[in-house]
């Protein structure tokens, strides 16, 4: 197995540049008072989805539901 030391150096340099950029961006977020925590953001998005993006329509009747089921029973393209 041949080791390409030039490629390793390129990747290490790129890694160092990317880590520096990540730190710079984190500092900007902290200075602006923005929470960038991945866990908190993902958890908050889940809560938003559960609380705001659900369809709640109290005007749907049982008859309408039965009609819908009858019309589309067995169809997989709906």
Q: What is the pLDDT of residue 55?
A: 64
> Is 0.75 surpassed by the pTM of this model?
no
Distances (CA, A) of 10 to 3, 19, 55, 56, 69: 13, 14, 51, 55, 60
Task: Give 20-70 pLDDT, tens digit per residue.
Answer: 999 999 999 999 998 877 655 555 666 666 655 566 667 878 888 888 888
Q: What is the pLDDT of residue 65?
A: 81
Cβ-based neighbours of 72, under 8 Å, separated by 6 or more:
78
């Amino acid at each position: 197995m041949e080791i390409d030391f030039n490629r390793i150096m390129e990747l290490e340099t790129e890694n160092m540049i990317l880590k520096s950029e990540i730190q710079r961006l984190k500092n900007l977020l902290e200075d602006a008072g923005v929470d960038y925590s991945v866990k908190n953001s993902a958890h908050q998005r889940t809560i938003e989805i559960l609380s705001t993006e659900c369809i709640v329509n109290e005007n749907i009747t049982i008859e309408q539901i039965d009609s819908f089921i009858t019309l589309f029973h067995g169809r997989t393209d709906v």
